[in-house]
Amino acid sequence: MRKHLRIQEAGIPALSGIYVHPWLWGTVGGTVNLSVQANWFSAIYQAAKAAHVQRLYWMLDSYANPAQAGPDETTGSWLGRPAAQSIRSCFE
């Protein structure tokens, strides 16, 4: 059994078709699709929980302005989007 397992930067852009290449940021790979991020974060949490991960770090777009967060800000940010609720539900 693992003694210490951490997942860092568990992020994905909100783009259709990006599951195949989640490390591609920007507008490469498809059109904006907010459910992609929400589903990704839910799946990461469930997988981490099943693997008994000790730490899971959600990646935050450093260019995102939390005061102006919203669906149209960037494809990478999850602030103000359904993905934020997916993350929040992990702690409820």
User: Rounded to an integer, what distance in angstroms lies between the CA atom of residue 25 and that of residue 14?
Assistant: 9
At 57 the pLDDT is: 77
* Mean predicted confidence (pLDDT) in 40-66: 79
DSSP-derived secondary structure letter, 5: -
Q: What Å distances lie between residue 78 and 1, 3, 4, 5, 27, CA to CA? A: 33, 30, 27, 24, 15
Mean pLDDT of 66-81: 67
- Tell me the pTM: 0.73
- Cα separation, 7 vs 75, in Å, equals 22
Look at 14-18, 48-52, 64-68 and tell me which has the smallest mean pLDDT. Answer: 64-68
User: Mean pLDDT, the chain, as a whole number?
Assistant: 77
